[in-house]
A and B are shown apart, each in its own frame.
Chain A
């Protein structure tokens, strides 16, 4: 098995850590770090949705907002939304919506704010992982958890949790962000940039599943710590 630039095995995640309750004003919040990527997520709501014509009497709206801090990348990013962040906010909403019981809160909105304060690849996945924990922390009824990780092809190898260095590999790398649910193992986010055939894609998705299992364990552990009066919060 070839080793990677940072010495990891192809199916090895970067070092992870997570904390709950990092934004006190919010109804729920979490921080998730994987390698050098750090995501904060805060949940506000369910609360009344304004303007009122946007309200849905059948269910709540889940509204996600993904943003990267200007200093999170090597060359300063212009603050504010970009086309990329608008798209990521949209796919994050889709990745989380299916597990949240939105029918319980007609006319309401659940706002999820994701801020990347340090970026080294896999930021949308780290954001989704943090947001799922923040939703659970806010006490929003969820059918199952969601975790996300990026997989991809670097050279000819299918690897788990790419770093920025691997993404920028000269011969070209394929990046595949995947989000998965904890119980049904359903895929709720799937994007791809690069070049793979069908067989490689399926192999990558299986590897993503393996990575998500490890993230689920971490999510469960830190959330349980909070509710058993542990060190978090």
Chain B
């Protein structure tokens, strides 16, 4: 597929799959997809598919926050999901994806770190949020955040054994209470066109992207990607679209119980 063709289509407000520039593909979220995880979810955005599992373990708190647990977000871009991914330790792309999701969850205080405290200064729960794209047909960021939040909504605390270690496989009835529920919308720009939710081919042509983790009227984390240059007007326009699209994505996340 010729990139110039994709760009010229976009200039006419068209896309190869017939969508409008501001239209997401069909979104679906399924939960409880992996039995042994404390919480898990699968998000599909068209043909893009991401699974996220949350595991817990007992750990020591950081010295500067003795009464707080923590989250650790990782993403593994397995070669299964795309011919562009390679085996090996996480590269810059996987690290960036994980950190965009991490910062969105962390900064919005979606998880109350104090609720993860077991014994001040000694023991806290660590929450491992692991992201596995199964099929990359573009827009992994938005799909990953939806899957991560849906998985977090399912999390039930692991039981503690008498010796203070985690009793894996046994859960209490206590759910991980969530504060705000951030949704990340990424707005792309290629040439003069601004669009959302690129498929794999469209992802090959963008100059810039702007991801914003949004809840209510606030932005909690942002990341510009791509080598393009954005004007202040571009950013205002992209943010406006980000807030508009966030509402659509939120409906899907809200439907997850």
| Partner-B contacts on A (CB < 8 A) | 83-84, 86-87, 89-91, 93-94, 97-98, 176, 181, 184-198, 201-202, 205-206, 209
Known contacts A98-B229, A190-B210; decide if A86 and B92 are in contact (CB<8 Å): yes
Known contacts A89-B92, A90-B96; decide if A206 and B219 are in contact (CB<8 Å): no
Give 1 or 0 for each of B225-245: 1 = CB within 8 Å of chain A CB.
111111110011001100100
Chain A residue numbers with a CB within 8 Å of B90 are 83
Query: Are the CB atoms of B222 and A87 closer together than 8 Å?
Result: no
Query: Are the CB atoms of B239 and A190 closer together than 8 Å?
Result: no
CB distance from A65 to the nearest CB of B (A): 11
Chain A residue numbers with a CB within 8 Å of B239 are 198, 201
User: What are 17 A-B interface contacts by the 8 Å CB criterion?
Assistant: A89-B92, A91-B96, A94-B225, A94-B226, A94-B227, A98-B229, A184-B229, A185-B232, A186-B229, A187-B224, A188-B229, A190-B230, A192-B223, A193-B221, A198-B239, A198-B240, A205-B232
- State the CA gap A87–B108 with chains docked (Å): 20
Chain A residue numbers with a CB within 8 Å of B227 are 93-94, 97-98, 188
CB distance from B246 to the nearest CB of A (A): 12
Interface residues on B, range: 20 to 34
With an 8 A cutoff between CB atoms, is B98 at the interface? Answer: yes
For B95, B218, B229, the residue with the greatest tally of chain A CB atoms inside 10 Å of its CB is B229
CB distance from B191 to the nearest CB of A (A): 14
Query: Are the CB atoms of B218 and A83 closer together than 8 Å?
Result: no
- State the CA gap A97–B227 with chains docked (Å): 6
Query: Are the CB atoms of A194 and B223 closer together than 8 Å?
Result: no
For B108, B212, B221, the residue with the greatest tally of chain A CB atoms inside 10 Å of its CB is B221
With an 8 A cutoff between CB atoms, is B217 at the interface? Answer: yes
Chain B residue numbers with a CB within 8 Å of A98 are 227-229
CB distance from B71 to the nearest CB of A (A): 13
- State the CA gap A202–B225 with chains docked (Å): 18
CB distance from B28 to the nearest CB of A (A): 29
Chain A residue numbers with a CB within 8 Å of B210 are 190
CB neighbors of A among B82-104 (8 A): 90-92, 95-96, 98-99, 103
- State the CA gap A97–B220 with chains docked (Å): 27
Closest residue of chain A to B240, judged by CB?
A: A198
CB distance from A103 to the nearest CB of B (A): 13
Chain A residue numbers with a CB within 8 Å of B226 are 94
Chain A residue numbers with a CB within 8 Å of B107 are 193-195
Closest residue of chain B to A97, judged by CB?
A: B227
- State the CA gap A205–B223 with chains docked (Å): 14
Query: Are the CB atoms of A87 and B99 closer together than 8 Å?
Result: yes
Query: Are the CB atoms of B232 and A206 closer together than 8 Å?
Result: yes
Known contacts A198-B243, A202-B236; decide if A190 and B222 are in contact (CB<8 Å): yes
For A89, A185, A189, A191, the residue with the greatest tally of chain B CB atoms inside 10 Å of its CB is A191
Chain A residue numbers with a CB within 8 Å of B96 are 86-87, 90-91
Query: Are the CB atoms of B98 and A94 closer together than 8 Å?
Result: no
Among B218, B224, B230, B231, point to the contact of A195 (Cβ < 8 A): B218
Chain A residue numbers with a CB within 8 Å of B108 are 195
Query: Are the CB atoms of A189 and B92 closer together than 8 Å?
Result: no
